Amino acid sequence: MSSTPYRTPEPDSRNAATIGKSVKIVGQIFTKEDLYVDGDVEGTIESQENKVTVGPNGRVQASIRAREVIILGQVQGNVETSDKVDIRKDAKLVGDITTSRISIEDGALFKGSIDIKKPEPKPVASAPGPVVARPAEPHSAAASGAVAATTTGVNR
Amino acid sequence: MLTERLLSIFRKEGDPVSKGAQPVGLHSTNATRSAPAIGLANRKSARKDPALTRQSRGLEQFFFNIRDVVGLSVLDCAGANQDNIDFLINLGHKVYSQDLVRNLDEAFGQDLAEQTNPSRIDYFLRQNFDYPRETLDGVLLWDALQFMSPALLNATVERLYDVMRPKSYLLAFFTATERVLQAPSHSFRIADNKAIVLTERGIRPAGQVFNNRNLEKLFGKFESVKFFLTRENLREVIVRR
């Protein structure tokens, strides 16, 4: 059994759009792919279905809205995710977080609020239960179509 | 000889217990000792592991007071750590988090004289307690207040009164050692609703000498003050707004 302590793997920027450490952007950023920010950003960052990573050299003064946010650098602004916020060891975040999951490593600095909002469970289509035919009501005009389901199966 | 051997099992180097029974300076009928069972069980492990897990009557009382309610806003001044956040979130509360001791250093350094500057005090309060009136349902101050000079401490307590909801609670720890110029600073992690994990993170100048009487006076505007005295010579104080 290995005695090496488990370390959270470094985020991979290879498959993401990248803002390099010598780049500064002031404005609104919208992206439909993962974004890796290692430079300076002021404004807003929005990547609803994707992941935004603030690299160790990243300095973000912006609100961030994404599916998932990983912070290794500095962020001043609110962070809202549908899935997860991950604040790594030497990161600094000042702002409010709205998310369904959060992870903070020891050594990270955070000042703000954390509001957990679990995603709404998707409605599950119920499997049709056994059909029990009821005796026709004497005065019912829709007797031929009357069906009473006694059980409802739920797909798990 | 047998007695010495038994005592050595429960004693670690520098343990104040080894220097004899600690006097209990009780001025309030509410002061009690916390149950030492977990603390004793961890003394042997404390030699290798600097973190100490012990029961906390103050924490137990704090969570008892907010039991059966969800959606509260709780300010945790221990600095963001996964344990505290998970615990409070799993109770269904919104968590406000900051490292108050670290923020004290950033605002004033470790020089207590710097804590008397009114404009610096105002800046500190705006940076750390900038909440609308009567917003917070609970405040976990841990040991941060004991490192504040009287001027800063009074201003902070005044601000806490403003931002806490009526009938809400705060928990604060103060050293119970009389005439002390310095006190150990700890990081605090919630183990469960009645236990905490303390890790010492250095010695700091204490803001002043604390006793039950001046603490009651400090929180005079609040509805009630309750004290618990611990084996580590900490005074755990539960205050009701």
Q: Is the Cβ of B85 closer than 8 Å to some Cβ of chain A?
A: yes
Whether B26 has a pLDDT exceeding 50, the answer reads no
pTM to 2 decimal places: 0.76
**B85 vs A102, A106, A109: nearest CB:** A102
In A, residues 23-82, which contact B (CB 8 Å cutoff)?
A: none
Q: Is the Cβ of A110 closer than 8 Å to some Cβ of chain B?
A: yes
pLDDT tens figures, A15-38: 789 999 999 999 999 999 999 999
Phi, psi (5° rounding) for residue A91? -80, 160
d(CA B202, CA B51): 13
Phi, psi (5° rounding) for residue A126? -80, 140
Task: Return the residue matching tokens 């404390």.
Answer: B46
Which chain A positions have a beta carbon within 8 Å of B187's beta carbon? none
Question: CB of B15 within 8 A of CB of B43?
Answer: yes
Whether A11 has a pLDDT exceeding 50, the answer reads yes
pLDDT tens figures, B156-186: 999 999 999 999 999 999 988 877 788 888 9
Using alpha carbons only, give the angle A135, A136, A142 rounded to the nearest 5 degrees.
140
Q: Do A111 and B97 touch (CB under 8 A)?
A: yes
pLDDT tens figures, B149-161: 999 999 999 999 9
Query: Measured between alpha carbons, how far is residue B198 from residues A24, A94, B10 in Å?
Result: 42, 25, 18
**A110 vs B89, B97, B103: nearest CB:** B97
User: A156 burial class (0-12, 13-18, 19+ CB within 10 angstroms)?
Assistant: exposed
- Complex ipTM value: 0.76
Question: CB of B111 within 8 A of CB of B152?
Answer: no
Confidence (pLDDT) at B119: 92
First to last CA, chain B: 52
Cβ of A97: how many Cβ atoms within 10 Å?
24
CB pairs under 8 A between A and B: 40
d(CA B30, CA B20): 24
Whether B65 has a pLDDT exceeding 70, the answer reads yes
d(CA A91, CA A21): 16
Q: Is the Cβ of B95 closer than 8 Å to some Cβ of chain A?
A: yes
Q: Do A114 and B94 touch (CB under 8 A)?
A: yes
Q: B21-25, B121-125, B227-231 — which is least confidently predicted?
A: B21-25
The mean pLDDT of B58-78, rounded to a whole number, is: 95
Domains delineated in chain B:
30-240 (3.40.50.150)
